[in-house]
């Protein structure tokens, strides 16, 4: 027997083994279509592929549909305003999801979720069928009267070009100028984010000289997150600059005269009949949020502002949407709207989809008693110090909701440089757990 022939013969068992391996997987693949490549969508795509690779019973095909080539993280984007970061530092493409995990990425826009069958319509590619559909499209803004050109009055609450526009406007603010920002009715994306932004803008202006003002118009009844920290920062660090005004809802903007029109609210959010008009050299108006039009038009929000879901799977609570899941900021569970939280929900959704594909139970006591999400975030208070906020949520079988675990909610006792350094470690690992 020639060496060559022996070598070939020795290879036969290996080849045979390779051909058997795929046969162990179930014949038909389960096609998951994920709409939106932010923290929620990227995480669910990655985790379904990563976890299914270890389970020979399932054969998961995952397609991520996202109109942009990269996601720009809102997390850390307030540091673009003071020049510490660039948008490119916060931009994450889908190369790792494709190359490392085998997610198929389609650069396209979803126009419609069919009410008649499991398919969605893409702008460029037409209809796409799914076995499971995960909608992870984030937020949309309510219109505000007179606020017609977002390029003149940036919200900068979806990061990207808007963030750069706001940075440039702050850079060009006249001497002793006034910056006016607004905070919408809750729930909004990133509860501490607006207060963090107020601090950072005040820090930028304070370094430039005296006489600058930051007016914060909050539609809510007081500071919504890290209350001790921001109350203290507003008075101790920025008492001469920040003018915080709760219970002021923005109802109109004049983009020519730069006046913001507000209605004054009672403590429970009712209009008192009182009104105010506030002038700003730079306006940063963040409109009220809701689920994007794709969800509203499809009926996934059931006429409401957010999509109702079962938090044990993130499947739509509506019977007419079998196999449709909503994760991240668009869903209605009442957990904080944040990238960290979206990542946490995506993992529960990934587990649920994998169990359904494998025919495993979703409602065992063991699974339901161990469903948790958590939130952790760091807030820069100035250019070198930060605070933090954290909480854990656990599924409550009695209420059918996620509930805050007593004692787990906490905020930093002080802002300091150690927290500031930790903020970069936290965000680096969160970005990698989501996109890499």
Partner 1 sequence: MKKLLTPLACFTLLLPFVLPANALAADDPAVNRLLASQCAQCHGTNGYSRNDFESIAGEEAKDMYEDLTDMKGEDRPENIMDHQALGYTDDQIRRIASYYATLPEDPESRESESSSGSGTLSASSSIESEEQDEKEMEQREERDEDDEEDEEDEEDDH
Among 90, 204, 225, 307, binds partner 1 (CB under 8 A): 90
x/- letters, 146..185, toward partner 1 (CB under 8 A): -----x--------xxx-xx--------------------
The residue within the footprint of partner 1, chosen from 32, 85, 217, 285 (CB under 8 A), is 85
Q: Are 306 and 314 within 8 A, CB to CB?
A: no
Can residue 413 be called a binding residue for partner 1 (CB under 8 A)?
A: yes
Q: What is the footprint of partner 1 within residues 40-59 (CB under 8 A)?
A: 47, 50-51
Take residue 51 and report the two structure tokens written for it: 């976890």
**Rg of the chain on CA atoms, in Å:** 24
- Helix, strand, coil share (%) of the chain residues, nearest 5: 30, 30, 40
Q: Which stretch binds partner 1 (CB under 8 A): 29-37, 212-220, 324-332, 419-427?
A: 419-427
How many other CB atoms are there within 10 angstroms of residue 350's CB atom?
27
Between CA 342 and CA 337 the distance in angstroms is 7
Alpha carbon distance 436, 356 (integer Å): 26
Q: Given candidates 63, 96, 185, 299, which one binds partner 1 under the rule CB under 8 A?
A: 96
> Binding to partner 1 by residue 208, rule CB under 8 A?
no
With CB under 8 A as the contact rule, the residue among 147, 344, 381, 386 that binds partner 1 is 344
Q: Is residue 347 part of the contact set for partner 1 (CB under 8 A)?
A: yes
Question: Is position 191 an interface residue for partner 1 (rule: CB under 8 A)?
Answer: no
Of 284 and 343, CB closest to partner 1:
343
The residues facing 290 across adjacent strands are: 140
Instruction: Give, in order, the Cα–Cα distances in Å from 32 to each of 44, 122, 184, 227, 350.
Output: 10, 15, 34, 41, 10
Query: Judged by CB, which is closer to partner 1: 251, or 376?
Result: 376
Query: Judged by CB under 8 A, which of 270, 297, 384, 417 binds partner 1?
Result: 297
Alpha-carbon span 325 to 20, nearest angstrom:
34
Residue 325's closest CA among 335, 314, 334?
314
Stretch that binds partner 1, among 27-35, 109-117, 233-241, 301-309 (CB under 8 A): 109-117
Among the residue ranges 250-258, 306-314, 329-337, 422-430, the one whose residues contact partner 1 (CB under 8 A)? 422-430
Under the binding rule (CB under 8 A), the answer on residue 259 touching partner 1 is no
Size of the site for partner 1 (CB under 8 A): 78
Residue 67 binds to partner 1 (criterion: CB under 8 A): yes
Residues 6 or more apart whose Cβ sits within 8 Å of residue 261: 145, 146, 250, 251, 252, 253, 254, 275, 276, 277
Of 434, 226, 423, 435, residue with least CA distance to 342: 434
88: its two tokens = 């490119």
- Phi first, then psi, for residue 49 (nearest 5°) are -70, -45
Of the residues 394, 399, 415, 417, which one makes contact with partner 1 according to CB under 8 A? 394
* Residue 416 lies near partner 1 (rule: CB under 8 A): no
Told to check if 270 binds partner 1 by CB under 8 A, we report no
Shortest gap between Cβ of 50 and partner 1 (angstroms)? 8
Give the shortest CB-351-to-partner 1 separation in angstroms.
Answer: 5
Helix (H) or strand (E) holding 240: none
Binding-site string for partner 1 from residue 349 to residue 388, where x marks contact by CB under 8 A and - marks none = --x--xx----x---x-xx--xxxxx-x-----------x
As a whole number of angstroms, the distance between CA 288 and CA 187 comes to 9
Assess 266 for contact with partner 1 (CB under 8 A). Answer: no
Q: What are phi and psi of 151, to 5 degrees?
A: -80, -15
């Amino acid at each position: 027997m020639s060496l060559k022939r022996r070598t070939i013969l020795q290879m036969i068992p290996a080849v045979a083994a390779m051909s058997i391996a795929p046969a162990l997987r179930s014949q038909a693949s389960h096609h998951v279509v994920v709409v939106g490549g932010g923290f929620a969508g990227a995480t669910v795509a990655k985790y379904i592929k990563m976890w299914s690779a270890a389970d020979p019973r399932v054969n998961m095909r995952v397609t991520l549909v996202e109109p942009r080539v990269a996601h720009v993280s809102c997390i850390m984007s307030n540091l673009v305003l003071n020049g510490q970061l660039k948008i490119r530092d916060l931009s994450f493409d889908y190369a790792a999801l494709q190359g490392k995990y085998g997610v198929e990425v389609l650069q396209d826009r979803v126009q419609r979720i069919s009410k008649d069958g499991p398919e969605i319509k893409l702008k460029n590619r037409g209809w796409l069928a799914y076995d499971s559909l995960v909608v992870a499209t984030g937020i949309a803004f309510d219109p505000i009267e007179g606020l017609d050109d977002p390029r003149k009055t940036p919200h900068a609450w979806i990061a990207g070009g808007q963030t750069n526009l706001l940075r440039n406007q702050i850079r060009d603010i006249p001497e002793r100028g006034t910056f006016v920002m607004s905070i919408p009715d809750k729930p909004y994306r990133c509860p501490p984010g607006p207060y963090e932004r107020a601090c950072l803008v005040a820090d930028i202006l304070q370094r430039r000289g005296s006489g600058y003002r930051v007016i914060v118009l909050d539609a809510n009844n007081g500071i919504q997150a890290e209350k001790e920290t921001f109350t203290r920062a507003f008075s101790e660090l920025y008492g001469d600059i920040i003018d915080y005004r709760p219970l002021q809802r923005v109802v109109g903007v004049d983009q020519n005269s730069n006046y913001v029109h507000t209605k004054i609210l009672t403590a429970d959010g009712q209009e008192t009949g009182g009104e105010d008009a506030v002038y700003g050299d730079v306006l940063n108006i963040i409109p009220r949020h809701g689920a994007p039009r794709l969800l509203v038009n499809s009926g996934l929000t059931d006429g409401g502002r957010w999509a109702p879901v079962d938090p044990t799977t993130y499947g739509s609570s509506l019977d007419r949407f079998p196999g449709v899941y909503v994760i991240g900021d668009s869903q209605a569970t009442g957990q904080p709207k944040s990238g960290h939280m979206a990542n946490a929900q995506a993992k529960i959704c990934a587990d649920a989809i994998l169990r359904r594909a494998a025919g495993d139970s979703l409602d065992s006591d063991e699974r339901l008693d161990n469903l948790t999400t958590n939130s952790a975030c760091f807030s820069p208070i100035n250019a070198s110090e930060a605070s933090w906020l954290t909480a854990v949520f656990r599924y409550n079988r009695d209420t059918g909701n996620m509930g805050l675990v007593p004692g787990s909610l906490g905020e930093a006792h002080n802002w300091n440089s150690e927290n500031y350094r930790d903020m970069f470690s936290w965000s680096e690992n969160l970005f990698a757990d989501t996109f890499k």
